Amino acid sequence: MKATLSLIALAALLAACAGPEPRRPVAAEAAAAAVPPAFPQAGGSGPVAATELPWAQAFQGTRLQQLIPLALVNNRDLRIAVLNIEAARATAAARDADLWPTVSAGISGSRTPMAGGGILSLYQAGVQVSAYELDLFGRLRGLSAAAAAQMLAVQSSQQAVRTALVAGVANAEIALQADEALLKLTRDTVATRQQSLALTRQRFDGGIASELDLRAAESSLQAALAALAQTQRQRALDENALALLVGGPLPADLPPPSGELADFEPLAELPAGLPAEVLARRPDVRQAEFQLSSANANIDAARAAFWPRITLTASAGTASASLSGLFKNSAWSFAPSLVQPIFDAGRNRANLAGARANRDIALAQYEKAIQTAFREVADGLAGRATLAEQRTALAAQVDAETRRLSATEQRYAAGVSSALDRLDAQRSLFAAQQSLVQVQSQRAQNLVALYRALGGG
């Protein structure tokens, strides 16, 4: 009996060695080499990689420093992603357990009538190993490695969700700040046009202005009121979106949005040097790579199914015809079996073909993840320079339109310019100011998108 148990223990030790750690597939390295080695728009080397820049350093706004930690604690999408890791870890542990024998202990008894009369009694007690598979050809190790790689993929997915959540909160805050700036601008415009309408009505009552001037001033005021209502509605929607990301109502002690254009810099300027190999550090790219490793391990398991399956069943304990003498007599059994597939109607071949197809799909998804990441970073870098130039140009336009309106007001008061010239100058200034706010918001959101594209944080 001791020799039998020793043999079982030795077989378990040899066959249940932990599967190999998920390694980077050769195909993945070839796919990673398919993108250029550097981004043309990046410029020189920067001091810190975006993936090493924590969000607390990247997003320096007072409100963001308070909102992002709340989102990381309360957001439901992130909570689901964390729970998915626990589920994947449990699955991987179950696959690892298949590598080891299952040992059970128990006591059983039976009483059977005999043909010649009387009753046959049999009582047994001991431990048993049932159908333990010796993984000589790597089927179980392949399944274990696939589950381990899938768990790492889920962990990378959780990191991607976390990065997306931080970026989402930043974008929602930028949108809310833009709404506040537009509200302030629109309220000022409404007040200005109310004054303009009052002045035009006085001039109309005095016979100086025509009814056409009066109706134009009324139309201009109503257009500003409509813009104010639209901006108020958009602000409420953006505040609701921010509350959803945070996972609850916004804190009562949260400072109100300032609405100042100078506050549209919630993201610290990113370093310039960005080699393309940084894409391999993005969570979604790592997730696709681990999924490719899992698919490769499934091929190993499907290939091993063509080989014989060796199982062991053994027991050791005591047996007796009477319950009082149960522990007096020892009993043991050892039953190895070998099963070689001969005809399975093509099941194993189909499983192998399916595993290879899934590996090809995972490879294509990995290549797409790399290409998508490269494009997102390139788009962010392109926008970083052009949006700054656009903002500078629009700021100059706002200054020019402000001077134009001032000159038109003076000419209108002197009777040189018409009311239509004055209204046209007001509308042009309002449109230019709105465009400046929108571009300020787009530039800040572009920096957030670039931070996320680089796998920031």
Question: Would you state the pLDDT for residue 15?
Answer: 43
Question: Would you state the pLDDT for residue 350?
Answer: 93
Neighbours of 172 (CB within 10 A): 22
Question: Would you state the pLDDT for residue 240?
Answer: 95
Question: Would you state the pLDDT for residue 44?
Answer: 44
How much is the pTM?
0.80
Query: How many CA within 13 A on the CB side of residue 239?
Result: 14
Question: Would you state the pLDDT for residue 115?
Answer: 76
Strand ordering across the sheet containing 309-320:
103-113, 119-134, 309-320, 330-339
Supply the DSSP string of 144-194, one letter for each residue: HHHHHHHHHHHHHHHHHHHHHHHHHHHHHHHHHHHHHHHHHHHHHHHHHHH
Question: Would you state the pLDDT for residue 313?
Answer: 82
Question: Would you state the pLDDT for residue 176?
Answer: 93
Neighbours of 90 (CB within 10 A): 12
Residues of the chain scoring pLDDT < 70: 1-52, 260-278, 319-331, 457
Question: Would you state the pLDDT for residue 241?
Answer: 95
Quick one: CA torsion of 82, 84, 90, 91, rounded to 10 degrees? -150
DSSP letter for 250, please: P
Residue ranges of domains in the chain, CATH in brackets: 32-99+135-181+227-306+353-453 (1.20.1600.10)
Residue-wise pLDDT for 241-297, tens only, equals 999 999 989 999 888 888 765 545 545 556 545 566 667 778 888 999 999 999 999
Question: Would you state the pLDDT for residue 245?
Answer: 94
